[in-house]
Structure 1
């Protein structure tokens, strides 16, 4: 028998070992990594970033984040610039007085965005009430959005999404990122409601929310807890909805409750009315009521998004409370942002009242920091 070649055997063994090592490396490198500690979630990162940004803000800038103000004209003139600076404005709402042509609005919103980012380090909310029907800004240059009542009467909830997409796309091109719609009140005047039926309102509003989300626009359910039964226009003076709590829960509040539980709360705001609901709070309008905003909306319904007041310059509030007090009352009661939409003097009074309370009240400072962090986190979600 032939004597085995020892060297050949060694080389063969070495070759097999090398190939085995290469194979092990190949399969190990491409196999799923073993489970280990998860990295920070997106939400946690945004929370940390929001907290970091808020910690760097001055008291003046924090108070500016709590407010949404209006401007007087179609450009930021010297007076408008001074107003933005005085209030350290974090957010702006536009009206027809601010809107002439699409090109002009684009220029205005870009200037607002640049100015506010430079001062605060975060984007502004730039909002509009573009419900459709009788509530439609820049009507001659905007798609002819029908009223909610007209859409509801069609019986086709898909129309609510279609018109929300149309509206959202048009607003986005203008540089607007918040639409204070849809109205989810039952049977509001001026054709502003989808229906008197809570289920129908829920269904159509669900489609509208989906449409706005598709276009990257925040929407806002309004006017919590539901003002379809008011007789006096809140723009003129205050009014009460004298339904029992049980009736409110079964009717006016039902669309809000349904939508809060079924939708992503971070993609929508809730606007709270300045009407009084004695069965929920016998003393105060909803927009300054802790039982309504904190106890009911936050704690009972579990709403996690932003709460914004209706305009404090409406007669329902302005005829009965001082502007220096209203903002503080609203924030303490549960609002995250306060709307003061028209007069520069009223905006300044509200801002001064909030800033004074922030500097003198440690408990209020902690509350404001919490709310500003929620606002900034919401903005970061959008960027």
Structure 2
């Protein structure tokens, strides 16, 4: 591991974790162990509206240092509602319990975009939120900022600290099954997308909630849904779909960016974006200058799961430069997915296919994001 990472990571993790600070003082440990860093690089979904010491997700948070969880209201695998969300009080208690078991502050995420993509719904006692399409149609960023504030307050009140929104896909194809057809894009004009995304993020930050731009490098022209399988935008995508990312990165607005599982031969002739070093490291990091957290879309979606095994998917995502690997555990369910993913990552490091320094760089970025969250929450 490169020596310059030692003091950076040590300072970040100790500032976030008093227990880790006491352990470091007692043992002389200079950096977290490899398994801790790998646990922080995972975001995992789970079943149940209430959890306790015996719940698999609590076990993962306590014993494997799982860094992030994601909540859903609908269980796709079981075809039923009520997966994690039933009411305000229930969600508040669930989130509090999850956080209680984390030695390093836990990121609790949800897809609360508004409109049809909102996990905290009026049916469960939460306020209705307009879709990105509705907000963009008004061309009123102030209204979008207020929607962001309402979203931020809603999440803050139950303890959720990360909204996987806003979508900054440009509405190239209004019939795109996963974007335009669901009203998830602000506009077909990338500059309007920038204005509304910035306003929405400002609203979230007012209540100490992190944001996430998605889906890099642009899903708005897709003719198929990457949840279902291979999605190729090579003939429909254009560089204008990068404008929201370029501008928001240059403004310093981005908390994090989620990749798309789309295949784009214009950028990489072999891999979809989530597994593409040319797309993540070369384009987003080096060309655009983004050094924050990059997370994958759900690694169990068809575009990845149907084309790659778990080991190959994790290997290529790490080689590409992703910091957090997302396993929604909803399209399919495996209570041991955290342990399995960490074992795969460990084997990759042990075999020399992935360096320890590569893991350390992602861990450092995640700690920076958690530090930013603390700062945001102190200002409210």
Q: What's the TM-score bracket when you normalise by the shorter of the two chains?
A: 0.7 to 0.9
Q: CA deviation at 1:370?
A: 1.4
Map of 1:63 onto structure 2: 38
Q: CA deviation at 1:55?
A: 4.0
Using the alignment, how far apart are the partners of 1:323 and 1:86 within structure 2? 22
Map of 1:82 onto structure 2: 59
- If asked which structure has higher relative contact order (CA below 8 Å, sep 6+), I would say 2
Q: CA deviation at 1:171?
A: 0.2
> In the TM superposition, what are the counterparts of 1:111-130 in structure 2 within 5 Å?
111-117=97-103, 122-130=104-112
Match of 1:314 among 301, 304, 307: 301
Q: CA deviation at 1:218?
A: 0.7
Map of 1:180 onto structure 2: 164
- In the alignment, does 2:238 pair up with 1:248? yes
Q: CA deviation at 1:138?
A: 2.8
Q: CA deviation at 1:263?
A: 2.7
Name the stretch that deviates more: 208-217 or 308-317.
208-217
Map of 2:286 onto structure 1: 299
> In the TM superposition, what are the counterparts of 1:222-233 in structure 2 within 5 Å?
222-233=214-225
Residues 233-279 of structure 1: per-residue CA shift (max 9 Å, x gap):
111101111148xx622x211111111111344xx110001111110
Question: Structure 1 residues 284, 319: CA separation in 2 closer, same or farther (over 3 Å shift)?
Answer: same
Show structure 1 runs of 5+ residues with no match: 1-44
Q: CA deviation at 1:332?
A: 1.7
Using the alignment, how far apart are the partners of 1:206 and 1:184 within structure 2? 10
Using the alignment, how far apart are the partners of 1:180 and 1:55 within structure 2? 33
Q: CA deviation at 1:364?
A: 1.6
Q: CA deviation at 1:102?
A: 1.1
Using the alignment, how far apart are the partners of 1:236 and 1:215 within structure 2? 35
Map of 1:136 onto structure 2: 118
> In the TM superposition, what are the counterparts of 1:119-268 in structure 2 within 5 Å?
122-139=104-121, 140=123, 141-187=125-171, 188-189=179-180, 190-243=182-235, 248-249=238-239, 251-265=240-254, 268=255
Match of 1:73 among 48, 61, 74: 48
Using the alignment, how far apart are the partners of 1:86 and 1:51 within structure 2? 17
Secondary structure, counterpart of 1:283 in structure 2 = coil
Q: CA deviation at 1:232?
A: 1.3
Map of 1:350 onto structure 2: 341
Q: CA deviation at 1:156?
A: 0.9
Map of 2:322 onto structure 1: 335
Higher fraction of helix: 1
Where does structure 1 differ by over 6 angstroms across 4 or more consecutive aligned residues?
A: none
Using the alignment, how far apart are the partners of 1:157 and 1:127 within structure 2? 24
Secondary structure, counterpart of 2:101 in structure 1 = helix
Using the alignment, how far apart are the partners of 2:250 and 2:32 within structure 1? 33
Q: CA deviation at 1:48?
A: 5.5
**1:67, 1:90 within 8 Å by CA — same for their partners in 2?**
yes
Secondary structure, counterpart of 2:69 in structure 1 = strand
Name the stretch that deviates more: 340-349 or 63-72.
340-349
Residues 275-301 of structure 1: per-residue CA shift (max 9 Å, x gap):
111100011010111000000000000
Question: Structure 1 residues 297, 92: CA separation in 2 closer, same or farther (over 3 Å shift)?
Answer: same
Secondary structure, counterpart of 2:167 in structure 1 = coil
TM-score (norm 1): 0.82
Q: CA deviation at 1:87?
A: 4.3
Alignment root-mean-square deviation, CA: 2.1
**1:132, 1:145 within 8 Å by CA — same for their partners in 2?**
yes
TM-score (norm 2): 0.82
Secondary structure, counterpart of 2:102 in structure 1 = helix
Using the alignment, how far apart are the partners of 2:318 and 2:205 within structure 1? 27
Q: CA deviation at 1:51?
A: 6.4
Size of the aligned set, in residue pairs, is: 331
